[in-house]
Every structure is written in structure tokens, then in C-alpha cells.
Amino acid sequence: MDERAVPAETVRAVDQCSERFAPELDGRRLVFGFDGVVDTVRVLIDERHEAGGYDTIDTLTDLRDLIDRSTASGSSLTVEWKQKGTRTGGHACHLARAFGALGADPVLIGTYGTPVREEFRREFSAYTTVSVGEPSFCDAIEFDDGKLLLPESGEARDLDWETLRERAGEEALAGHLDGAAVLGIGYWNVTSHLPELLADLVDTLWPRLESPPEFVLFDPGDIRRLPVTRLQRGTRRLETVNDTVPVTLSANRAETGALARAIDGDSSGTLEGDASGVFDGLGIERFVGHGVDEAVAVSAEGSSVIRVPKTDRPEMTTSAGDHFNAGLIAGLLQDLPDAAALVLANSTAGVFVRTGSPPSHREIRRFVEDYPERLRSTRTE
């Protein structure tokens, strides 16, 4: 078999995505919460040159080796960094940014400051923005093979339903959700009570909504440091939410493994195996796991595994997962089969990683059309 051949399931999914992906989201209202972050993006300097230039530490592996050498020599380590810029971050901001470029009407409910800080007002002035606390701050150090995030918690850490209801207003929250296409929330590692907050919100507000969101997208974030008991307790609350509104849980490879260990007691060692184990242990509509090589969706209808086109020259990796989720949500809202929705998710993230900007419909369409060739290609993009 040709090693460059594209799996038949991926080819079918690409064809389905190409045929059914709608051009725009036509102003559909999408609600995202409940965090808010001011990200300072930095690079680490490896060596400076006499002419004024410098080499950067380009991979996490290189940073690890530098730390290992310093540890072995018994010396302290100083690493200079350089600021590349400041931007807004967090689940709500990243999803709103992505969907704004696709013609949707995002509503952001999160921690943006009192009053709303200039960074958020400047970028999201065209959208409804509801602040319920002070933001987090994060140093985001990007590498070719990943990123190192150094966050400082804001008021999202202790946000619960009572606080959200008090600060945003129950009537106002119901108004934002009534008629919205989807509710997307994240991250559990940032908002400690996120599953409980969601369950209480759904219990309280859903009975009052004439046209509730079609589904909930739950992004757990980097939950590897959360206690197993908290993961087990929180996932049980997600099951109760799913009794009222379908829940799609979307996690990256590491997060999927952490959930598998909490639910099954161990990890299978593969993304597909862990995703299937998590879904089997949860009473939710769909589980999606995404990694650098493949993306997996598991539901009652079965599982889909779609390969991911990779690049050796990423422009930006921070929020790649959020852009994956944006493509996933767009696909599910357009009733794409799970496999085709994964193609759309991978394509949305693929454009973002290569350009560093939220992709337009045209850019995503072009990526989908080139998807098989991108998988076959061995060239460095």
C-alpha cells in the first residue's frame, strides 16, 4: 500500500464536507463563556548576535534539554524572553474571534474587568460583551512543537452559578440564550466549578427558554492537574446536563488521556481508544478527541477517525484547539456527519496555525479542497 495514500474514511469525509459546508453562518447568535484572559505572547531567546539579532529556542524539546544541562551542572538557569504582543484570550474570546470572521453574532459572557478593560472593548465592541469579574493574565510562550502557558488566575477561578446569576442577571442570561444556536463553555482548569455551574444554569434557565441552544460544547482545558475525584464528580454533572440538552465534549490528546484515567482507571495509549473509553463511560451525546496526527469523534452512531494535515512551520499554536472547536461547532450546526465535521474542524485549525489569524470561509474552503493533497504531501509548508 502506498504510504502516501489517504484513508478512505478521510476521503469520504472530505467529499461530504465540500458538498455540504455552507458559505456563512448568517448572523446566528452563539453564546460563549465564562472566562477572559489577557495574553502576553513571548518568545525565548537562545543566543544573541553582535549585529543585534538573536536565535530563539524553537521547541519545547530544546528548552527541556537546556534545563537538563543546567540541572546536571548544578547551576541556575537564566533565559531571556522577548514580548511579541498582547492579545485577549480564553475560551470565549478565541471562539468569538473565530466566529466573528465567519459571519456569526457571538455573545461573550466572562471576566473582562469592571469596567470592561480596553483590550476587550477594542476587539469585541461589535459584539455583546457581558463582564462578570476581573480577567486572568497569562504569559504564552510559543514553540514549533507546542506552547508553555504561565497563567495567573482571575475571578473566573471561583465563578459559580450564584455569582454568575448575581453579576449577569438571570433575566439577561435567559435573553442571551433564548434563540442562540449553541452554548460553548471552557475551561474547567480555569473555572473550578464549571460542570456544576453549567448544570445549575441548565436546570434553572432551560425550562424558561422558548428556543434553547441546540447543543452545548464543553472544552475542559488542561485538566491534567485536577484531582481525579473532581473529574469524576464533574463528568457526572455533565451527564445530568445531557438529559436536557445534548453535550459535545471536545478535548485534546492529553486531556482525553486524563479523562480516560479518571473514568476507566487507565489510558489505552491511543487517542481512539481513550476517546471510545471516555464516551462509553459518559452519558453524553458525543466525545471528540483531537491531536496533531488525527481527530476522533465517538457517538451512539459509532466512531470516526480523521487524519490531520501537519506543517513544520506553524505561525501560531496558542488557541489552535479553540479554532478546531469553532470548525467543529460550525459543522455540527450545519448537520454534517461527525467525520465531515472533523474535516471542517481540522481545516479551520489548519488555516489558523499556518496564518496566525482567524480564517475566512474562503480560506477554510480552500483548505478542505486541498485536504487530501496536504495529507499526501511530504514537503515542508
Assess if residue 208 is contained within a domain.
yes
State the total domains in the chain: 1
Assess if residue 3 is contained within a domain.
no
Assess if residue 50 is contained within a domain.
no
Say which CATH number the domain at 311 has. 3.40.1190.20
Assess if residue 250 is contained within a domain.
yes
Assess if residue 78 is contained within a domain.
no
Between CA 270 and CA 336 the distance in angstroms is 25
DSSP assigned state of 315: S
Whole-number percent of the chain with pLDDT over 90: 83
Across 46-58, average pLDDT: 89
Give φ, ψ of 143 to 5 degrees. -130, 165
Q: What is the pLDDT of residue 21?
A: 85
- Per-residue model confidence as pLDDT tens digits over 174-194: 999 999 999 999 999 999 999
Q: Is the pLDDT of residue 351 over 60?
A: yes
Domain residues for the domain of 27 are 8-41+88-376
Task: Using alpha carbons, select from 147, 189, 191 the residue that is nearest to residue 40.
Answer: 147
- Per-residue model confidence as pLDDT tens digits over 103-132: 999 999 999 999 999 999 999 999 999 999
Assess if residue 174 is contained within a domain.
yes
Assess if residue 339 is contained within a domain.
yes
Assess if residue 60 is contained within a domain.
no
DSSP string, 201-242: HHHHHGGG-SS--SEEEEE--S-TTS-HHHHHHHHHHHHHHH
What confidence category does residue 4 fall into, taking pLDDT thresholds of 50, 70 and 90?
low
SS3 state at 180: coil
